[in-house]
Amino acid sequence: MSRLTRSAATLAGLTAASAVLATGAATVLAKSASAGRPDRGVIYFAQTYTANGNEYAAGNGTDKLFGTGAVTYVIKAAPTPTGAVKITAKPVTTYYPNGTLTGTATGTLTPGPNGTATITGGKITQTHGTGGQKGHSFTGTFQGTGSLTMGTYKITYKGTYR
């Protein structure tokens, strides 16, 4: 797998994790989970290693509703005829002091000049919670930028926590 494909996969995974991170702490809010709460945040992540055709990435972020948290991703990347890379992250796990949310994310990483990259069309769905997140979910969208040469990315996300 090329460095570009690995970096794209890592970026997509982290982006998805960012979305999950933003929603992970929603249980601390008094409003019921069934009504849903709008949320948004920022995640910073980096590729940590590659094994068995997967890219592994981890990072941290800040969520409007829940403060800081951590994320991990397992990413598969598939080049497209246009030069972009289709990214699927499964699982995407977001960690908060009260529990975790796990799910999947998809997006497209497009290489730019001088090793830059953009992430577009990101979608994330997390439906499996543990601890205080049991029974909760997050669905959202994300986009971001990064460096293919450094393997570092910044993702912004928004969505609904239930």
Mean pLDDT over 16-28 rounds to 42
At residue 13, what are phi and psi to the nearest 5 degrees? -60, -45
What's the CA gap between 56 and 96, in Å, rounded?
A: 19
The answer on pLDDT for 157 being more than 80 is yes
Q: Does the predicted TM-score (pTM) go above 0.75?
A: yes
pLDDT at 21: 45
* 27 pLDDT above the threshold of 50: no
The structure tokens listed for 154 are 């910044």
Q: What angle do CA 122, 77, 18 make, to 5 degrees?
A: 35
Cα angle for residues 19, 124, 152 (degrees, 5° grid): 55
Reported as a single tens digit per residue, the pLDDT across 139-154 is 999 999 999 999 999 9
**107 pairs with which residues across the strands?**
87
Instruction: Write the pLDDT tens digit of every residue in 95-140.
Output: 988 889 999 999 999 999 999 999 999 999 999 999 988 999 999 9
Q: Domain count of the chain?
A: 1
Q: Which residues pair with 84 in a beta bridge?
A: none
Q: Which helix (H) or strand (E) holds 11?
A: helix 3-23
Question: Across the chain, what does the average pLDDT equal?
Answer: 84
Instruction: Please answer whether residues 45 and 59 qualify as being in contact, where contact means their C-beta atoms are separated by less than 8 angstroms.
Output: yes
35: Cβ contacts below 8 Å, ≥ 6 apart = 162
Q: What CATH number is associated with residue 84? A: 2.40.160
Q: For the ranges 59-68, 72-81, 102-111, 130-139, which has the lowest average pLDDT?
A: 59-68
- pLDDT at 58 (0 to 100): 98
For 160, half-sphere exposure in the C-beta direction (CA atoms, 13 angstrom radius) is: 6
The domain containing residue 21 runs over which residues? 3-161
